[in-house]
A = this chain, B = another copy of it.
Amino acid sequence: MLIHLVNPNTTRSMTEKAALAARAVAAPGTEIRADESRDGPASIEGPYDGALAVPGLLARIEAAIAAGAEAHVIACFDDTGLDAARALSPHPVIGIGEAACHTASLVADRFTVVTTLSRSVPTLRANIARYGLAGRCAAVRAAEVPVLALEEPGSDACRRISAEIARALAEDGSEAIVLGCAGMTDLARALSREHGVPVIDGVTAAVVMAEGLVRQGLATSKRGGWASPAPKAWIGRRLDQARVEA
Chain A residues near B (Cβ < 8 Å):
10, 25, 27-29, 37-43, 45-52, 54-56, 58, 81, 83-84, 86-88, 92, 94, 98, 102-103, 105-110, 118-123, 125-126, 129-136, 146, 148, 169, 173-176, 189, 192, 196-198, 200-201, 204-205, 208-209, 211-213, 215-221, 223-227, 229-230, 232-239
Contact = CB atoms under 8 A, between A and B. Distances in A.
A224 B136 CA distance: 13
A51 B58 contact: yes
Given A109-B224, A224-B175, A225-B46, A84 B39 contact: no
B175 A232 contact: no
A107 B208 contact: no
B122 A132 contact: no
Q: What are the 9 tightest A-B residue pairs by CB atom distance, in nearest-first order?
A: A208-B212, A39-B236, A122-B225, A47-B83, A27-B27, A51-B84, A175-B221, A48-B87, A42-B233
A48 B108 CA distance: 16
Given A56-B236, A110-B224, A132-B136, A103 B27 contact: no
A48 B87 CA distance: 6
Contacts of A146: 230
A28 B25 contact: no
B130 A126 contact: yes
A226 B47 contact: yes
Given A47-B226, A121-B224, A55 B56 contact: no
Given A55-B55, A87-B46, A235 B39 contact: yes
B221 A198 contact: yes
Most buried by B among A10, A103, A173, A174: A173
A81 B242 CA distance: 25
A216 B204 contact: yes
A129 B131 contact: no
Contact of A88 (B25, B48, B87): B48
Nearest to A141: B173
Given A41-B233, A223-B175, A239 B108 contact: no
A230 B220 CA distance: 34
Nearest to A37: B235
5 contacts: A27-B29, A173-B224, A174-B223, A175-B221, A192-B217
A224 B119 contact: yes
